[in-house]
Amino acid sequence: MTIQQIATQPFSDQRPGTSGLRKKVTRFQQPHYLENFVQSIFDSAGDIQGKTVVLGGDGRYYNQQAIQTIIRMAAANDIGKIMVGRAGLLSTPAASTVIRKYHTHGGIILSASHNAGGPDGDFGIKYNTANGGPAPEKITEAIYQRSKEIDRYLILDSTDVPLEQCGTHRVGGMEVEVIDPVADYAELMEQLFDFPAIRNLLAEGFTLRFDAMHAITGPYAHEILENRLGAATGTVINGTPLPDFGGHHPDPNLAHARELVEQLFSDEGPDFGAASDGDGDRNMILGKNFYVTPSDSLAVLTANAGRVPGYRNGLTGVARSMPTSLAVDRVAEKLGIDCYETPTGWKFFGNLMDAGKVTLCGEESFGTGSNHIREKDGLWAVLFWLNILAARKQPVAGIMQQHWKEYGRNFYTRHDYEELILEEAQGIMEHLEQQFATLEGRRLGSYRVEQCDNFSYTDPVDGSTSSGQGIRILFEDGSRIVYRLSGTGTVGATLRVYIESYEPDPGKHQQDPQHALAPLIDIAVELGQIDSRTGRTAPSVIT
């Protein structure tokens, strides 16, 4: 086995986005494309020689080849040891768990999260640091800078490592340990949640359905929900990970998890439903005939954390991404704890957690998590809800309604306009910014604009500033419209419009959010001139 030094040329499009480098599979298959980025990671990830690095992915198309390439490159770059999930699989939360538990130098996660897979789908790669979280911007920027000047990469001339069984192998001077992808994660969940109480709830006849969407959480959900908690066989649907996710979008929302939604909204349906995404970090929570928005879910978890063993001693604080609804802010206020507002993307929560400032955090994009790891965690959120349901013995809808009664309801929706022409989407953002000066104080329908800005965040821990994080139109009554361009899309541009209003009156809580928010939705379209600039008369996805 010899180390080969391969001459290469930089690609100009390897800047990591909201969550690592995400491109079409076909782009990653270009000669040297993956290798350049991996070498850029090894060259930028600090003193990595001799250290242990975790490796795994969500099993999507190209996962297997990429894993073998990365192992050979790691060996050539003098990495001490690779811990890789069996069959190359690790959910994103499990990878974070393993990085933290074994105090490794970091990890490489192969995933394009909720994006479609298969030969024509998307692939992605991201680097996580020793705290188990996505690398902060100064590292992702260093990786990008390196990718622009790279002229060689190192790779060992060796055969594929068998990954189908747990065990240890040597590749050159490096050790490769193939680990059970589920065990460490399942053990951590048992420490955090009251498994006996959930087991009792299920034994009493409470029924649930978990949709793994043919993605990575299948094996985790089978083990935890069915084997350890005793949920009936068949509780987990679409539980076998497939390279193309069965041709579907592995995105747990009302549009893409339709089969599950239909079951929960039918008379014979189960009491509780949940789904997770491609790499297992997102979650959608459903009750019987009831959909819980991710923003409300974060608020409910915060309000009920005292009922859950892992959080019984209190929360130090909570955090939400800027576009996430203000529902959790109201709970934090009542609990007397801090609530931080961060830019979109999980990487901003890590510093707050490492500094002990927050325990729970979440995003409106179906992401919820805690300081047990440094990634959002789909199954964790499901178990948190099951623990609350076991403790309160009320249906999901009842818990939500009681919550709104106590705190008021933040009506919330997100309208996505996908695959726009980049210039048109940028034009909308520029047009909005140009209106800032004339908008403040102006009356729009029954709302008066209080403030407009492009959100900027200064990290309270390291003092770094991230600007241009989304346009906010804030109204006097606390309503908001937020506009952002997605940082994870791979085709054209995606405009996300987040719309929110607050309703204290319980008599008005039963309205459909699209109806309650209709006047603000119209204002949002008008202010952005969305239809005239894009030719779109409706959003592509509403969540």
345 belongs to the binding site for ligand G1P (CB under 6 A):
yes
Among the residue ranges 20-28, 120-128, 344-352, 499-507, the one whose residues contact ligand G1P (CB under 6 A): 344-352
CA distance 449 to 436: 10
Record the tokens describing residue 297, joined without a space: 């879910």
CB of 415 to ligand G1P, least distance (A): 13
Toward Zn ion, which CB reaches closer, 113 or 494?
113
Toward ligand G1P, which CB reaches closer, 346 or 404?
346
Among 40, 158, 413, 488, binds ligand G1P (CB under 6 A): 488
Among the residue ranges 8-16, 36-44, 116-124, 359-367, the one whose residues contact ligand G1P (CB under 6 A): 359-367
End-to-end CA distance of the chain: 52
365 belongs to the binding site for ligand G1P (CB under 6 A):
yes
Q: Is the dihedral of CA 222, 228, 231, 233 positive or negative?
A: positive
Which of 38, 92, 26 is CA-nearest to residue 67? Answer: 38
Among 344, 359, 410, 543, binds ligand G1P (CB under 6 A): 344
Toward ligand G1P, which CB reaches closer, 16 or 317?
16
Among the residue ranges 186-194, 230-238, 481-489, 499-507, the one whose residues contact ligand G1P (CB under 6 A): 481-489
Which of 42, 54, 280, 58 is CA-nearest to residue 178? Answer: 54
CA distance 17 to 140: 9
Chain residue whose CB lies nearest ligand G1P: 486
Among 14, 19, 40, 501, binds ligand G1P (CB under 6 A): 19
HEC sequence for 276-320: ECCCCCEEEEEECCEEECHHHHHHHHHHHHHHCHHHCCCCCEEEE
Among 64, 113, 302, 368, binds Zn ion (CB under 5 A): 113
CA distance 538 to 543: 13
Among 91, 113, 283, 501, binds ligand G1P (CB under 6 A): 113
44 is catalytic: no
The one of Zn ion, ligand G1P, none whose footprint includes residue 279, by CB under 5 to 8 A per kind, is Zn ion
- 3-state DSSP assignment of residue 455: coil
486 belongs to the binding site for ligand G1P (CB under 6 A):
yes
The one of Zn ion, ligand G1P, none whose footprint includes residue 239, by CB under 5 to 8 A per kind, is none
CA distance 172 to 1: 7
Residues 491-510 that bind ligand G1P (CB under 6 A): 496
DSSP sequence for 390-406:
HHH---HHHHHHHHHHH
Among the residue ranges 72-80, 126-134, 343-351, 422-430, the one whose residues contact ligand G1P (CB under 6 A): 343-351
Record the tokens describing residue 307, joined without a space: 């009922």
Among 226, 251, 281, 375, binds Zn ion (CB under 5 A): 281
Residues that contact Zn ion, how many (by CB under 5 A): 5
18 belongs to the binding site for ligand G1P (CB under 6 A):
yes
Toward Zn ion, which CB reaches closer, 35 or 281?
281
- Please state the length of the chain: 543
Residues 6+ positions from 208 with CB-CB distance below 8 Å: 202, 225, 231, 235, 270, 271, 272, 273, 274, 386
CB of 250 to Zn ion, least distance (A): 8
In the set 40, 44, 113, 321, the catalytic residue is: 113
Residues 6+ positions from 201 with CB-CB distance below 8 Å: 386, 389, 390, 393
Among the residue ranges 229-237, 269-277, 458-466, 483-491, the one whose residues contact Zn ion (CB under 5 A): 269-277
Q: CA-based diameter of the chain, in Å?
A: 73
Task: Locate the DSSP E strands across 398-527.
Answer: 409-420, 443-444, 447-454, 457-458, 465-466, 471-475, 480-485, 493-503
The one of ligand G1P, Zn ion, none whose footprint includes residue 36, by CB under 5 to 8 A per kind, is none
Which of 473, 469, 486, 466 is CA-nearest to residue 422? Answer: 486
Among the residue ranges 107-115, 165-173, 293-301, 479-487, the one whose residues contact Zn ion (CB under 5 A): 107-115
Among 43, 211, 277, 377, binds Zn ion (CB under 5 A): 277
For residue 69, the tally of other CB atoms under 10 A from its CB is 15
Record the tokens describing residue 346, joined without a space: 């999980």
The one of Zn ion, ligand G1P, none whose footprint includes residue 487, by CB under 5 to 8 A per kind, is ligand G1P
Among 35, 211, 226, 279, binds Zn ion (CB under 5 A): 279
487 belongs to the binding site for ligand G1P (CB under 6 A):
yes
96 belongs to the binding site for ligand G1P (CB under 6 A):
no
For residue 13, the tally of other CB atoms under 10 A from its CB is 11
Q: Which residues bind ligand G1P (CB under 6 A)?
A: 18-19, 113, 321, 344-346, 363, 365, 367, 486-489, 496
Q: Which residues bind Zn ion (CB under 5 A)?
A: 113, 277, 279, 281-282
Q: Residues with catalytic annotation?
A: 113
